[in-house]
Structures are given as C-alpha cells and as structure tokens.
Chains A and B, each alone.
Chain A
Amino acid sequence: EDQVTQSPEALRLQEGESSSLNCSYTVSGLRGLFWYRQDPGKGPEFLFTLYSAGEEKEKERLKATLTKKESFLHITAPKPEDSATYLCAVQADDYKLSFGAGTTVTVRA
C-alpha cells in the first residue's frame, strides 16, 4: 500500500526565514510526485510534478526536489502570502493520488 508521510505537521516562520518541508513516500512504481498548496476552504492548487530522482523544479520562492525515498519543498525568504497547507501526493500505476496529511505553514510579518 502506498504511504506518504509529511513533516513537520506545522511550521511557523518569520518573514524571510527560509525552511524546508519533507515528504517521505513508499510506493511501488512511482509515476509522479505532486506538490499542492491548499488555502482554508479551497481546493488544492497545483505547484509541481516530479518524475524521477534528482529532478528539481522552481516557482518563485518555492523549489521542489526528489530522491528515491523523499521529496523536499524548500521555501526561500517566505512572505505572509505563502501561508497555507502544503500537500504532497504520489501517483502509482493506477493513476490514483495518495496524499500525505500536509504541512501547515504560517509566515509572520
């Protein structure tokens, strides 16, 4: 059974204080690892898809990396508007996504 574990559960940062979120996974036949951002009362918003170990993708202050066992989402010099819950999900052969519990990030001005 696919397993996705995210840590930490919650992260409180000062504006400009860079940090990283972790997503550890166990899946047979990884087709893709996805990062989403979710604001309260909203659906997840797509950030990145990573397909193979060593791959990296960047978007503004966010950078996602992938190894064979985990993925990191690095937030560089965060701003208050980066406050959200960040979800990691893995896709196996059956096209279903298995989600982690998420990391709730709060950035204080």
Chain B
Amino acid sequence: GAVVSQHPSWVICKSGTSVKIECRSLDFQATTMFWYRQFPKQSLMLMATSNEGSKATYEQGVEKDKFLINHASLTLSTLTVTSAHPEDSSFYICSARPNSGTGGTYGYTFGSGTRLTVV
C-alpha cells in the first residue's frame, strides 16, 4: 500500500514553454502533498506544501508565479513550471502524507520523480 504515482518520469521542453507534472496517490487520500527539487548529488529541497482545496504554501525563495501548484482533489496535486528556462532543469519529486492510518507504517510516500530538461 501507500503508492504515489508521478508523471511524466522525464520531459524535455523548449525555453519559454510550460510543463505540468502530476502527483497522484493511488491507494490513499492525502490532504497534504509536498513538492521537492533535487540537484545532482544534493539532497531534497522543499519547494512548497500543497493543500487540497486551498492555496499552496511556498518556501522562502521559491517563485509562486513560476511554480504553480494545484491540489484539486485528495489524490492529485500538480506542479506547473511556467515559462521554463534552462536553470529550471532539475529533478522534481513529490510526496504525500496519508490522511490517516498508514502514516506511521509508510511514512511520507514519494513519487518516482520527474527529470526536467529545458533546452
């Protein structure tokens, strides 16, 4: 149990275009999901906390107009990188916190990540 599906696993886009990444909890509900960014050989840096039915909370230094987050249901959060530039190239990972029951058993479950390359 406690599976998070993230799509796409990789994407290449042209500079100036937008890219949407989906994060879906398959067998549990998650009011709260998190979006991270990871640079090569570095740890995960939290970008924002996504809350179902309300606005996302962004970490200091993260541009909310560039990284749009929508958490429209208890099983789906999306991250849209708008007007992408080469410096936005990175590995983006989502995680979900189960609403109840499985939290202690499975911790926070992570998606498999999305490798974004902006050319």
Cβ 8 A contact of A101, one of B43, B91, B111: B43
Inter-subunit contact A87/B113 (CB<8 Å): no
Smallest CB–CB gap between B48 and chain A, Å? Answer: 10
Could you say which residues of chain A place their CB within 8 Å of the CB of B111?
43
29 pairs of residues in contact across A and B, judged by CB atoms under 8 Å: A34-B108, A41-B91, A41-B113, A41-B115, A42-B113, A43-B110, A43-B111, A43-B112, A43-B113, A44-B44, A44-B95, A45-B110, A46-B106, A46-B107, A46-B108, A46-B110, A48-B107, A49-B104, A87-B44, A91-B108, A95-B97, A96-B46, A97-B95, A97-B108, A98-B46, A99-B44, A100-B43, A101-B43, A102-B43
Q: Is the CB of A99 within 8 A of B43?
A: yes
CB neighbours (8 Å) of B43 from chain A are: 87, 99-102
Given contacts A43-B112, A45-B110, contact A96 B6 (CB under 8 A): no
Interface residues, chain A, CB within 8 Å of chain B? 32, 34, 36, 41-46, 48-49, 51, 87, 91, 95-102
A41, B106: Cα distance in complex, Å: 21
Q: A51 — which chain B residues lie within 8 A by C-beta?
A: 104
Q: Chain A CB within 10 Å — which of B4, B42, B106, B110 has the most?
A: B110
* Contact status of A34 and B44, CB under 8 A, knowing A41-B113, A42-B113, A96-B34: no
Residue of B nearest to A34 (CB): B107
- Interface size, chain B (Cβ < 8 Å): 24
Alpha-carbon distance between A34 and B28 when the two chains are bound, in angstroms: 20
Interface check B75, CB cutoff 8 A: no
Q: Which of chain B's residues have a CB closer than 8 A to the CB of A96?
A: 34, 46, 49
Instruction: List residues of B (12-60) whose CB comes within 8 Å of A's CBs.
Output: 32, 34, 42-44, 46, 49
